[in-house]
Amino acid sequence: MEERDILIIGAGPAGLAAAQYGARAARRTTMIEELAPGGQALTIDSIENYPGVNKTISGYELGMQFQDQAERFGAELVYATVQSVDKDEDNFVVKTTEGEYVAPTVILCTGAKHRPLGVPGEEEYKGKGVSYCATCDGPFFRNKKILVIGGGDSACTEALYLAKLTDKVTLIHRRDRFRAQQEIADRVMRDPKITVKLQHTVESIEGDGDKVDRVVLRNLGTDEVYTEEFDAVFVFVGMIPQTSLVPEAKKDDAGYIVTTCRMETSIPGLYAAGDVRDTPFRQIVTAAADGAVAAHCASEYIDELAGRAYR
Ligand code: NAP
C-alpha cells in the first residue's frame, strides 16, 4: 500500500490546482485520474475568461499548463480508476485499478457529467447525431443543421462554437430568457447564425435508425407541436455531480457535496473542490480556487492530526 499525505481524485482544474498547492506545502501529493488531465475544460475550444491569461486559449492548452505547473512543484499524476474510498481511523484507504493508497486526507475533485434530456430517441441516436460535446462532435456536422438544447452557459457557449462550423444553429430553451451569464447570452442573441427559440422543448428525436434527421418540438407559448429537420442535436441541460465514491458525505438537494468555506465535507479529512461541490458559480477559476483552498486546509488538518497545528 502506497502512503501519501494528500490524495486527489480527479485531475480537472480543481484537482490540478489542489495538486500544485499540496506539493508546494511539501506534502506527498498524488492525483488519480482515469482519463486525461484537464477535466471538462478539455472539451472547451476557447477559454477567454481565465484571469491573467489575456488571450484565447483552448481548454487542452490551459489544462497542460496546470499539469506542468503542478508537476514542477512535485505533484504526481497516476492514471487509474478509483474503486473505493474508505475511512480507517485517521486515514483513508483508496483502492484503484493500479493499487491501493493510504492518506490522512482526500480531496474529491470528480466534477460532474452531462445530464441527459430524457426524451424518446435520445438514447437511440447517441453517437448518431445526439451529442453532449460540441468540440468533440461538432466538426462532423460542418454546414449541417444543428439543434442545441439548454439555457445555461454551456448551451450558449457551445451554440456560439457550433456557429463557427455552420450558419444553421437553432438554440431552444424552455424559459423566456436565458440562465446563462448576460455577456454570453447577449452574444448568442447577436449571432446571425443562431436562431433562438425561447419557451420551446423537445418532444422526441427521430431519424432513419442510423442518424438523426428530425426533432419534434413544442412551443410552450402556443402549445403547438411541430417537426423540424435537424442533422444533429447537442444537449446541454445541466450536470450530475460525480459523488458515488463517497455515499456518506452530506449532499445538497441537487446532489452536490456540501462543504464549508475551507472545502471540508461532513467527513473529517475529506475535502471536495470544483464542480462536485455546492457552489453558486462553476468556472475554471472558481474550481482552481477551491482546489487551492482544499489543499491548504488539508495540509493544516495533517498538522492538527500530528499535534503540530500552528496557532
Ligand atoms: P446549468 O447552468 O444548470 O443550465 C442548464 C440549463 O438546462 C438550464 O437553463 C435549464 O433550464 C435547462 N434544462 C435543465 N433540464 C432541462 C430539461 N429537462 N429540458 C430542457 N431544459 C432543461 O448547466 P450548464 O449550462 O451545463 O452549466 C453548468 C455550470 O457550468 C454552471 O455553473 C455554468 O455557469 C458553468 N459553465 C460556465 C461556462 C463559462 O463561464 N463560459 C461555460 C459552461 C458552463 P432552467 O433554466 O429552466 O433550469
Test site for ligand 1: of 153, 156, 158, most ligand atoms within 8 A of the Cβ = 153
Report the C-alpha gap between 148 and 237 in whole angstroms: 10
**CA-to-CA distance for 273 and 107, rounded, in angstroms?**
7
Give pLDDT, residue 101. 98
Q: Which atom of ligand 1 is nearest to the CA of 112?
A: 28
User: Where are the strands (E) in 20-125, listed by range?
Assistant: 29-33, 76-79, 82-88, 91-96, 99-103, 105-108, 112-114
Task: Give 190-238 pLDDT, tens digit per residue.
Answer: 999 999 999 999 999 999 999 999 999 999 999 999 999 999 999 999 9
Cell digits for 64? 497542460
Within the chain, which residues score under 70 in pLDDT?
Answer: none
The β-bridge relationship of strands 82-88 and 76-79 is unpaired
Torsion of CA 45, 49, 55, 58, to 10 degrees: -20
Closest CA to ligand 1's atom 16: 237
User: What residue owns the CA closest to ligand 1's atom 29?
Assistant: 282
Q: What is the CA(114)–ligand 1 centre distance, in A?
A: 10
Read off the pTM.
Answer: 0.89
At 236-279, the pLDDT tens digits run: 999 999 999 999 999 999 999 999 999 999 999 999 999 999 99
Residue nearest (by alpha carbon) to ligand 1 atom 30:
282
In this structure, the chain runs to a length of 311
End-to-end CA distance of the chain: 33
